[in-house]
Amino acid sequence: MISEESESGNDTVSLVPANKENVDTLANLNAVLFPITYQKKFYIDCLACGPYTVMAQLNGSIVAAICCRLETHQDLGVRLYIMTLGVLAPYRRRGIANALLGHALRLAQQDPRIVDTYLHVQLGNEEAIAFYRSNGFELIATIKNYYKRIRPADCFVFSCNLRNWQPRNSCLNHA
Ligand SMILES: CC(C)(COP(=O)(O)OP(=O)(O)OC[C@H]1O[C@@H](n2cnc3c(N)ncnc32)[C@H](O)[C@@H]1OP(=O)(O)O)[C@@H](O)C(=O)NCCC(=O)NCCS
């Protein structure tokens, strides 16, 4: 199923929701994008959160994905946790990550249960830090030794107040 589609020049970008049938494609993409091998529980959470987890298809090939989880916190309420967001290197700086993030945050804004969104970024991942800052995320914490198997082990926590979030330009017309 294709949820949103746009043509820009000769390129056609579509968002494809993750489901049981295509979850292996998502796992293969993440294996290329990230130095961590995500286990079965990660993908169970991805599918459990419904339409938040989507892949981006460019001219028929899957080139990017955002993986999300919904977390219920006793004091805060429901938070949208962005587990991963990645775009294959040749397809970066075309607004594809903006489109994926925009899709998830727009859905979250429409869900009155969700209070905010947050994520972890490895220290030194300047591309991701620049990306999230450009989308209105704020640095709220630094966690020492967060990662067990990759170096540097420390991470930043970024958060975004959904009430103030505004979509940025993306490869999708309205994302
Ligand atoms: C971070 C990442 C997802 C961004 O994807 P992308 O599709 O290139 O991002 P976009 O084209 O939507 O960029 C949107 C904005 O983010 C900022 N940005 C993105 N990449 C940037 C970079 N390398 N340097 C500086 N700013 C950057 C810019 O403001 C950009 O807008 P502009 O192109 O109009 O200047 C991509 O670099 C990636 O997949 N990295 C590897 C995986 C990863 O580390 N993911 C994050 C942790 S889970």
Average pLDDT (78-101) is 97
In a domain, 170, yes or no: no
Share of the chain above pLDDT 70, in %: 93
What's the structural domain count of the chain?
1
Q: Could you list the beta-strand ranges (E) of 19-102.
A: 54-58, 61-73, 77-87
Write out the H or E segment, with its range, that includes residue 13: strand 11-17
What CATH number is given to the structural domain containing 56? Answer: 3.40.630.30
Torsion sign over Cα 71, 118, 62, 110: positive
Per the residue annotation, which of 38, 81, 146, 147 is the catalytic one? 81
152: cis peptide before it, omega within 30°? Answer: yes
Separation CA 143–CA 154 (nearest Å): 6
The pTM is what? 0.94
Quote the pLDDT of residue 163.
85
The CA distances from residue 90 to 54, 93, 108, in Å, are 19, 9, 29
**Mean per-residue pLDDT, 123-139:** 97
pLDDT surpasses 50 at 107: yes
Residues of the chain with pLDDT > 90, as a percent, come to 83
Residue 175 lies in a domain: no
Q: At what angle do helices 40-48 and 23-33 cross, to 10 degrees?
A: 120
**Confidence at residue 3, expressed as pLDDT on a 0 to 100 scale:** 43
Residue 92 Cβ inside 6 Å of ligand 1? The answer reads yes
Does residue 33's CB lie within 6 angstroms of at least one atom of ligand 1?
Answer: yes
Q: Identify the residue whose C-alpha is closest to ligand 1 atom 10.
A: 95
The band of 9, judged by pLDDT with boundaries at 50, 70 and 90, is: low
Residue 135 lies in a domain: yes
Range of the domain at 25: 4-161
How far is CA 142 from each of CA 35, 62, 83, 136, 162, rounded to the nearest angstrom? 20, 33, 17, 18, 21
In-domain check, residue 171: no
Q: What is the largest CA-CA distance in the chain?
A: 48
9 within domain boundaries: yes
User: Does the active-site annotation cover 174?
Assistant: no
DSSP character for 106? H
